[in-house]
Amino acid sequence: MNTDLIKKYNKAAPRYTSYPPANHFTEEVNSSNYEEAVRKSNSFKPQNISFYLHIPFCKKLCFYCGCNTCPMGKANQVKSYLAALKTELSRLINLLDKNRKVSQIHYGGGTPNAIEAQHLQALNQMIFDAFELTDDAEVAIETNPAYLDEQYLLDLKQAGFNRFSLGIQDFNKDVLRLVNRDPSAMPIADIMAIIKNGQPNNAINFDFIYGLPAQTLDSFAETIEAAAKLKPDRLVTFSYAHLPSVFKNQEILEKRGLSDSNLKVAMYNKAAMILAEAGYKAIGMDHFVLPNDELFRALDSKKLHRNFQGYCTRATTGQVYAVGVSAISQLEQAYLQNTKSVDDYIERISQGNAATVKGYELSKQEMIVREAITDLMCNKVLDLESLAMRRNISLDTLKNSIHLDKNALAEFEADNLLKMNANRLEITDAGQLFIRNIAASLDPLQVNPDRLYSKTI
């Protein structure tokens, strides 16, 4: 671990879960553009499509949370929200070409398992009734294990879910208490056994966060060792993203003691070592999978891809149609984001309008930059010749579209973070930690950055 490099590169930069980042979305793209944008997306490849459904409610708010959440509130509000969600999904389905197959359905939040499973089942059924699913379609749900019991898990399986994310965050109860979070209601091993029983191909992900109060190098290593023994299919160690100016609750954690960037890097490295010894392979940023996982095969063949929901493969995931408050549709040519207020969402949908309040229409140049940055972030390689061929453009057009900050790239190379030749950039193992910085050096929007981002480490 080189502390000088950490000091040098621990700067604010986008996380690049989308390009352009969501803080570039503008109100010029709004509900009046929704219908046309969705219809237009029917003619873009890839053929398979994805759905994202947002359930914003949480029974209790964790102080670190950077997601779009709201407290459960009154039962009436939840009921009206679910009715609006069904209406929005049904209108969306009517606009979509039914000859497409669905390869991914993803429920995120908030806490999707904060609501009764019968509602999730009804929403899934609307999609199953309208579309054929691909053979290996993924029906995934993010869950908080504090609110899982056996019957609920059985109901989720019955509703068609086959990938379950368990937000463990940390096994250490002191850490959880300091961030206002309850531990799992059942032993995680029991939850896993129920999920796999009779359906061994059902997949299980664990989520962890490092950088929280009271976490030490040893305590986080214990958590990761315990996790590795349970052998989930995938495991994510998120670096805690601290942005208290946007997420007010995070201010509370400043008083409870956050880890400095050197400790965060040490925690990540130790976790990565424990997981490598347990047979896991590192994927992109912070993700670990078993070697037979399709994500590892995709990384191996440089075909790893990502959307807001996480890593995926180009072959299995297409445009993402999103419903619910704050949800972002990720179409080939545009992003469309719904209002972030639950009441506003319910009102817009009940008045017969789309809930889109912001978005972005990508220029041809921005689609090129998006693909270059996604390639680099996912596959650690940017091969300009193969990208130019894939997009059917000349090498010159490609080079003129991305920023290619030669000074910054030369410095990354001198610091042994990057290997370069005229048409190829490859991130070294040491460079993996600074991948956001390297991606930012290809981004025309970062020449004069004017938005807020969390620091890269």
Ligand X SMILES: C[S@@+](CC[C@H](N)C(=O)[O-])C[C@H]1O[C@@H](n2cnc3c(N)ncnc32)[C@H](O)[C@@H]1O
Binding site for ligand X (CB under 6 A): 64-67, 108-109, 111, 142, 144, 167, 169, 207, 209, 238, 240-241
Task: Using CB positions, name the residue nearest to ligand X.
Answer: 167
Q: What is the DSSP string of 240-256?
A: PP--TTTSTTHHHHHHH
Alpha-carbon distance of 448 to 403, in angstroms, equals: 12
Picked from ligand SF4, ligand X, none, the partner binding residue 282 (CB below 5 to 8 A depending on kind) is none
Q: Interface mask (CB under 6 A) for ligand SF4, residues 291-330, using x and -?
A: ----------------------------------------
CA 60 to chain centre: 22
Picked from ligand SF4, ligand X, none, the partner binding residue 133 (CB below 5 to 8 A depending on kind) is none
Buried residues in 390-420 as b, exposed as e (16+ CB within 10 A): ebeeeeeebeebbbbbeebbeebeebebbee
What tokens were used for 42?
A: 């029917």
Picked from ligand SF4, ligand X, none, the partner binding residue 207 (CB below 5 to 8 A depending on kind) is ligand X
Q: Which residues contact 163 (CB under 8 A, 6 or more apart)?
A: 138, 139, 140, 141, 202, 203, 204, 205
Do 17 and 306 contact (CB within 8 A), yes or no? yes
Q: What is the DSSP string of 111-135?
A: -GGGS-HHHHHHHHHHHHHHSEEEE
Residues 126-145 that bind ligand SF4 (CB under 6 A): 144
Q: How far is the CB of 42 from ligand X (least distance, A)?
A: 29
User: 145, 167, 318, 359: which one contacts ligand SF4 (CB under 6 A)?
Assistant: 167
The residue behind tokens 């070409």 is 97
Residue 19 or 107: the one with the smaller Cβ distance to ligand X is 107
Residue 72 or 122: the one with the smaller Cβ distance to ligand SF4 is 72
Under the binding rule (CB under 6 A), the answer on residue 110 touching ligand SF4 is yes
Q: How far is the CB of 40 from ligand X (least distance, A)?
A: 30
Alpha-carbon distance of 308 to 17, in angstroms, equals: 6
Region from 104-112, 185-193, 353-361, 375-383 binding ligand SF4, contact rule CB under 6 A? 104-112
The site for ligand SF4 (CB under 6 A) is made up of 58, 61-62, 65, 67, 69, 109-111, 144, 167
